[in-house]
Each structure stands twice: as structure tokens, then as C-alpha cells.
Amino acid sequence: MAGDKRSALAARIRRREWSSLPGVFEMVSARIADGMGFPALYMTGYGVVASYLGVPDAGLATYTDMVDRVAKFCEICATPLVADGDTGYGGLLNVARTVHGYERAGAAGIQIEDQQFPKKCGHTPGRRVIPLEEAAAKIKCAVESRDSKDFLIVARTDARGAHGLDEALKRGESFAKAGADVIFIESPQSVAEMERIGAAFKGLPLLANMVEGGLTPVLPVPELKRIGYSIAIYPGAAFLAMGAAVRAMYQHILKTGSSLDAEIPLYDFKEFSKLMGFEQVWDFEKKWAGQG
């Protein structure tokens, strides 16, 4: 991606200007979100693993799987992309490789978490974390491995689930000292817990993960701002909406044998074709008609 867009996003995040980032999970969602005016897009690990591999977000995707997706998103999107990098896919050498790979693929930032392998989605049970010292070293390694200081390092801890909020806050402080640009305390389970997080990281860019049906209350933007957050990601909203719409349409076809009279909003086919880039194909064919 162009360096000026990456720099503009980094400056926005560091001055804590409010940013709502939609989750993109495959190429159609990315094309729809791109150009709508979002300051950045968020590549959701859960959604990418589900759409690309058809499996749970439970440590089954590899670095190669994910960096390939990063590259494809960045190829078709002009909007900066912050991408889920899971645990960095191994030890410190793997973290350095992952940061290099995501940055060179065109991402504007990467999210690194402190789970043990195999990692799991942050709003599912059974998550375990590595020792604090190892986790902080991963964040420091990520910070020092990037080519540009404007490539954002989002440091996530999943310690709340297994060890409680105090441990999660302690890890967030260590990540900040290690140079993380954004602190991400995953899955607080009440507004009171979110308020403790906001009080602990005043003045730092703080990310809220708004997962519909997850462990954390989904709050309106004014309330998130009051608490102290400056970024909210919505990783699941689009694929949950898509899943509901697709299931409803398939049920209608199964029941009636046809798509006629389905009470489900449909994207206009001509507009969808334009979204997918068919206008460029038509222009190309007109230019080269009768030649070759």
C-alpha cells in the first residue's frame, strides 16, 4: 500500500481519533467495504479461516495461508488493512518473518496475541497464554522487525479468560513498554471490566473487540469513547449477516423450488458486476475488439 496512507492511518491511531473498523473475511466483503470511507479495514482471523479453509479458528491456518490472504486483500483494496497475525505462527524468528511478510504484502498493521499454540478464537473457551516474558518479547520483536514505524503493532492479550483481568492488565502494560502502538485486552466480560481497562491505559490507543454474541458487551460508540477506547473492530458482523441471509435464501429455495418472492434484500446484479470489476473487462474488450 502507499506509504502516505499507512502514515496517515498511523497518525490517526496515535492521536486517538475515533476509528470503527469493519471485519473483512473474503474478497466480496473486502470490495464492498473498500471505498465506503472507513479509515481502515480489519482482516478477521475467524472469518478468513472460515471462508478460506472452512474450518474453525483454532490454530489450523498457517502463516502461508494468512499472508496469502493479506496480499489478496491489499491487492484489491485502496483502504489500509490491519490484519490478524494470530501468535506470529511460532517463536521470535517466526514473529519477525510474519511481520516482514504482512508489511511487504501491503498491510498497514498486524495484530499479535499471547496465546499458546494451538490458538483459539478469543470468544471461545479453552484459551491458554504463554508466560508474560515470552509474550512481551514477541511484541518487542514485532516492533523491532518492522521496516516502517508507521506499520502498526496491535498487541493483544487473552489472559483475561484463564488468569483474570489483573493479569491481562499487567500484560497490557508490558506490551506498551515493549513499544506496541495499540493495546488490545481481549474479552472483558462487563462494562465494569472495560472501565478498568480504560482507566489503566489513559492516553494510549485502546482497542475494543465488538463481537455480536461474544463475551464482551457490544456498546455504542459514545460509551466506548467515555470508557477510553479509540478503536472498535467489528470482526463478525458481516459474516454473521451473510450467514443469516444465505441460509434464509437457501431455505426459501428448498421450500419453494425457486428464488421468486424471497423476502431477502438482494444486491442489484448490475451493480454487483460493477463492484467485481466487470466494467474494466468490458472496456478492455471494446478496446481490443477485432484485434488478435
CATH of the domain at 193: 3.20.20.60
pLDDT of residue 10: 98
Distance of alpha carbon 120 from alpha carbon 187, whole angstroms? 13
- Tell which residue, 37, 39, 47, has the closest CA to residue 5: 39
Number of domains composing the chain: 1
CB 205 within 8 A of CB 230: yes
Calculate the dihedral angle through the C-alpha atoms of 120, 123, 124, 127, rounding to the nearest 10 degrees: 50
Residue 228 maps to a domain? yes
Residue 276 maps to a domain? no
Using the CB atoms, write b or e for 110-146: b if 16+ within 10 Å: bbbbbbbeebbbbbeeebbbbebeebbbbbbbbbebb
Q: Residue 208 forms beta bridges with which residues? A: 232
Helix (H, G, I), strand (E, B) or coil at 20: strand
CB 112 within 8 A of CB 95: yes
Residue 264 maps to a domain? no
pTM of the model: 0.94
Residue 9 maps to a domain? yes
Q: Which domain holds residue 234?
A: 3-242
Cell numbers placing 44:
478477521
pLDDT of residue 292: 65
Tens place of pLDDT for every residue, the chain, 292 residues?
567 889 999 999 999 999 999 999 999 999 999 989 999 999 999 999 999 999 999 989 999 999 999 999 999 999 999 999 999 999 999 999 999 999 999 999 999 999 998 887 767 777 899 999 999 999 999 999 999 999 999 999 999 988 999 999 999 999 999 999 999 999 999 999 999 999 999 999 999 999 999 999 999 999 999 999 999 999 999 999 999 999 999 999 999 999 999 999 999 999 999 999 999 999 999 999 878 6
Segment (H or E) for 232: strand 231-234
With cell 491511531, the residue in question is 13
Cell numbers placing 66:
494468512
Residue 124 maps to a domain? yes
pLDDT of residue 290: 79
Q: How does DSSP classify residue 19?
A: E
Residue 254 maps to a domain? no
Residue 206 maps to a domain? yes
- Tell which residue, 200, 116, 104, has the closest CA to residue 146: 104
Distance of alpha carbon 262 from alpha carbon 248, whole angstroms? 9
Residue 275 maps to a domain? no
